[in-house]
């Protein structure tokens, strides 16, 4: 696979990813993964596709929850090499590939009952192209669970970084760069999206939104991790969507 900036970024972050994700005060551990699981639902006997699977931990978790088959896809060569050394649950496999070109990923065949796209859509070349590719790989009664940074988050961060007014920062679709919180030596760059961008691209790709979550901390969690509560009070956090294929009407 030819190298590209996204692959380079995630190769550099591969070693930091999983230790940061499982920290007791990580937002993924505290609220994001529990919220994602609530929208994924029971996976017993189902085929699951995890696009942008990173360390593969969530895919492996779902395999151990009874999924019949789990396929993970990630662009990072470093993550792929790490996964190749692991003992995997039966029916679990991982492919290295670019979500911008799903039809070019060797060994990826559908359809799937559940497709996960967790914090990865902003890194593809064309979000609508990728979502349409996913639509063609979801069972007609299947689901797509999509998570991405809350659009308010990067509006705030862009406003703070550039001095732009919040509304102007929110509607600025140009690539946004920032040092990774996992490894400050690595700069992360991707596009941002408004609420409307996400909703309309899902609709144009052939999905309808069944449920949307904007999870936040409980009062007990706020007392336990006040630094994360303060960050969420400013940046909101994450947006998680459960979408279903829209069926053609006569």
Q: What per-residue confidence (pLDDT) applies to 162?
A: 94
The helix (run of H) or strand (run of E) holding residue 69 is strand 69-74
Between the alpha carbon of residue 28 and those of residues 33, 147, 181, 249, the distances in Å are 5, 11, 13, 38
What phi and psi values does residue 173 have, to the nearest 5 degrees? -95, 5
Asked if the model's pLDDT at residue 45 lies above 50, the reply is yes
pLDDT at 83: 87
pLDDT of residue 250: 37
Over residues 119-141, the mean pLDDT reads 96
- Residue 217 pLDDT greater than 70, yes or no: yes
The region of weakest confidence among 68-72, 109-113, 164-168, 214-218 is 109-113
Reported as type and span, the H/E element at residue 240 is strand 238-245
Alpha carbons 152 and 134: distance in angstroms, whole number: 26
Is-contact 203 112, C-beta < 8 A?
no
Q: How far is CA 94 from CA 124, 161, 167, in A?
A: 19, 37, 41
- Beta bridge pairs of residue 245: 207
Is 2 a residue whose pLDDT tops 80? no
> Which residue has 């070019």 as its token pair?
104
Please give the distance of CA 212 from its chain centroid, rounded to a whole number: 14
3-class secondary structure, 200: helix
| Least confident piece of the model among 15-24, 111-120, 131-140, 202-211 | 15-24
pLDDT at 116 over 70: yes
3 pLDDT band, cuts 50/70/90, is: low
Domains, the chain: 5-245 (3.40.50.150)
- Residue the block writes with tokens 């449920």: 211
Model confidence at 163: pLDDT above 90: yes
Beta bridge partners of 212: 241
Quick one: how far is CA 130 from the chain centroid?
13
| Span 77-107, pLDDT tens digits | 989 888 888 889 999 999 999 999 999 999 9
Query: Cα separation of 65 and 7, whole Å?
Result: 30
Q: Is the link from the previous residue into 111 a cis peptide, with omega within 30 of 0?
A: yes
């Amino acid at each position: 696979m030819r190298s590209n900036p996204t692959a380079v970024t995630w190769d550099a972050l591969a070693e930091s990813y999983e230790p940061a994700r499982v920290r007791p005060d990580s937002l993924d551990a505290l609220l994001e993964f529990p919220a994602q699981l609530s929208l994924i639902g029971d996976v017993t006997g189902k085929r699951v596709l995890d696009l942008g699977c990173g360390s593969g931990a969530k895919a492996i978790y779902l395999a151990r929850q009874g999924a019949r088959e789990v396929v993970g896809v990630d662009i990072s060569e470093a993550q792929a090499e790490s996964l190749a050394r692991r003992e995997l649950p039966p029916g679990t496999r991982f492919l290295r590939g670019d979500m911008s070109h799903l039809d070019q990923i060797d060994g990826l065949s559908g359809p799937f009952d559940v497709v996960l796209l967790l914090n990865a859509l902003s890194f593809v070349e064309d979000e609508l192209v990728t979502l349409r590719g996913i639509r063609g790989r979801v069972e007609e009664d299947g689901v797509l669970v999509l998570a991405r940074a809350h659009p308010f988050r990067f509006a705030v961060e862009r406003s703070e970084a550039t001095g732009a007014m919040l509304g102007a920062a929110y509607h600025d679709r140009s690539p946004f760069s920032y040092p990774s919180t996992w490894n400050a030596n690595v700069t992360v760059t991707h596009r941002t999206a408004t609420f409307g961008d996400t909703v309309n691209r899902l609709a144009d790709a052939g999905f309808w939104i069944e449920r949307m979550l904007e999870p936040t901390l409980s009062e007990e969690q706020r007392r336990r991790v006040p630094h994360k509560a303060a960050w969420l009070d400013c940046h909101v956090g994450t947006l998680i969507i459960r979408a279903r294929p829209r069926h053609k009407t006569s």
